[in-house]
Amino acid sequence: MVTQILERKICALFIVISLVSLVNSASIWRWDCENEFCVKKSKNNATAGTSLETCKLVCGQYGTLWPVPTGDVFIGSAVVNVISQNFVFETNAVTDASRVLIEEMVDIFRGYLVSMEAYGGIEPTPSNSMIVVKIDCSQDDIRITYNTDESYELRITQELGEVVRVSITAPTAFGVRHALETLSQLAAWDDLAGSVVLVNEVFVSDRPFYRHRGLMVDTSRNFIQLGDLYRTVDGMSYNKLNTLHLHLTDAHSFPFDSPSVPQMAVYGAYSERKKYTVTDLKALNEYANTRGIRIVPELDGPAHSAYGWQWGPDYGLGDLALCVNRLNRTNVCIGPPCGIQNPVNENTYGVLELLFSDLKEAFSPDVFHLGADEVKFGCWNITEEIVDWLEDQGRGREEVDFYYLWGYYQNRTLEKVDTVYGNIPVIVWTSSLTEENFVENVITPERYIVQIWTESSEPSIASLYNKGYDLIFSNSDNWYLDCGYGSWVGDGNNWCSPYKGWQLLYDNDPLEILANQGILNPDPQRIWGGEAAMWTEQTDGGTLDGKLWPRGSAIAERLWSNPPGKWRTAEKRLVHMREVLCLRGIGADPVQPHWCHQNEGVCYYE
């Protein structure tokens, strides 16, 4: 009896297993490329169509390339099965250092292939195809800067027999890196082949439209763990973004553990675990450089300075910051918390110089960000020490006098930047200062780049351009990633609501913003590019990925390609790019049901 039941159970189990395997082998849908879209066809006809991934690789003018190349592109219609071990790399580099860097970049590329195979989850179908990748790099740059030539050419040809030749030529290692990134987008795991497939005939010629293609991450409002920053760098590199702007410090916390001024983190970090050492940041900077990304540090001042700056009196240095933690902020400051640096205390500049030196150790930046936004004069105006100083200068207490004081702060701070870094460009945010007629007398266009965070319709954008400033765009109506959540200082929604969908980011075109204000042919050298801004009052590692991605991909294509078309032309590739980000370990938000990924071009209304 017992045996019979057992037999029946085993039998039932066997039936279930064979049903499962039957369902599995039949569950591979097939697609055809029709009018540039992959159309879901059939499940049972083994001779029809291809896998979705293979269809996407070769369908449409750009296949799955993101961001779209700016030069000539040819993508053939066939793929070849490849396995990761069969890639051979031959590198011509001009120096050993350049070769070492390129080899690190090649290792990252190999990692992409290995992770595609891991996604397949089975032993790949054996293949004898050899893929010979020949890399020619003619210059010796090993640090990415705002002047780096990031261009490249990539060619894939399949020879008779079993050799696939890939040739990469680029002036710098950073162009090589971009070419490898593009190469990885011409390959994907294919369920039908049971291996990775690679498009077998390709030509791509490519260079970025803008030199400054960034994300800004605020690490003060909420601390962002190093692991989250590393993953953000990864995500940026997949999209050929090249600038990570760290808004390192603000009024809320001072997470930079400066060896020269340890008091800053002692008084300012949220906890022992919520700070970065120079060693941490140096390692992050190296990791980013290998991925074609430079880090631009920002030490925001004179405003947005409270926690970290309170220790002066305890050490006999006087007040380094004023109005710290003042609860009645009316007419005094924004916040909470309240706080602004003390521009008439000589020790403030001594501290800044030490901080600049320590940040040089970490990043050796080629531009430095001084913040300089949201200065309210109220706190200075109620501080006796400041009022006395103005009087000594023969000044009063009108707005123009406080702008003079602010100009004094900027000049003294710039002197310290120069002492530490030499005459590198510095960036400041738009503020009341950049709206004033006398801005040129306070900050000179020869040294200052202005990062725009006003709305795109703000007429000061054109006037700043006309006054000679170089510009970086982060206009808050389209390129702010923190908008559309609940308010953190009241009820309702936060100040820059609503949420900015990827379409808004994609369509935000700096040249169009300028053209709308009458600047038709701006000097391309002076329009550096842009950054999507991730302010973190309501974000930390738990939600960072979904807020950054895939919207960061949308701005990346705007900045790399400056595509003539609007978001609709990019939609199917963006939806695909989101899948790629997820496969590579980024928790990107879905932008549609997965059904839309499998049924291209039919989800959005006309």
Q: Which residues bind ligand NAG (CB under 6 A)?
A: 45, 47-48, 328, 330-331, 377, 381, 397-399, 402, 404, 407-408, 411, 441, 444
CB closer to ligand NAG out of 282 and 395: 395
Phi and psi for 200 in degrees, rounded to 5?
-100, -10
Are 176 and 152 in contact by the 8 Å Cβ rule? The answer is yes
| Nearest alpha-carbon partner for 534 in 543, 521, 547 | 547
Q: 276 and 257 in contact (C-beta within 8 Å)? A: yes
Active site residue 374: yes
CB-based closest residue to ligand NAG: 48
Nearest approach in angstroms of CB 369 to ligand NAG is 19
Helices (H), ranges, 239-345:
263-268, 278-290
**CB 411 to ligand NAG: min, Å:** 4
Tell the smallest beta-carbon distance from residue 415 to ligand NAG (Å). 10
Q: Residue 495 gets which letter from DSSP?
A: T
DSSP 8-state class, residue 190 = E
Of residues 3 and 330, the one with the C-beta less far from ligand NAG: 330
CA gyration radius for the chain?
27
Closest contact distance (angstroms) between CB of 599 and ligand NAG is: 18
- The residues facing 19 across adjacent strands are none
Provide the minimum distance between the beta carbon of 448 and ligand NAG in the complex, in angstroms, as a whole number: 10
Shorter beta-carbon distance to ligand NAG: residue 411 or 419: 411
CA dihedral 550, 522, 459, 298 (to 10 degrees): 50
Sign, CA dihedral 214-218-222-228, equals: positive
Q: Which is nearer to ligand NAG, 139 or 381 (CB)?
A: 381
C-beta closer to ligand NAG: residue 332 or 554:
332
Instruction: Say which amino acid occupies 448.
Output: Y
Beta strand 37-42 with 30-34: parallel, antiparallel or unpaired? antiparallel
Cα–Cα nearest to 577, from 554, 560, 595: 554
Say which DSSP state 50 is in: B
Angstrom distance (rounded) from CA 200 to CA 190: 15
Interior CA angle at 532 toward 418 and 184, to 5°? 105
Cβ proximity to ligand NAG, 67 vs 343, nearer residue: 343
Backbone angles phi, psi at 554, to 5 degrees: -65, -45
Give the distance between the most distant pair of CA atoms in the chain: 108
Q: How far apart are the C-alpha atoms of 124 and 117, rounded to whole Å?
A: 7
Of 42 and 95, the one with the shorter C-beta distance to ligand NAG is: 42
Catalytic residue among 104, 361, 374, 435: 374
Q: Tell me the catalytic residues.
A: 374
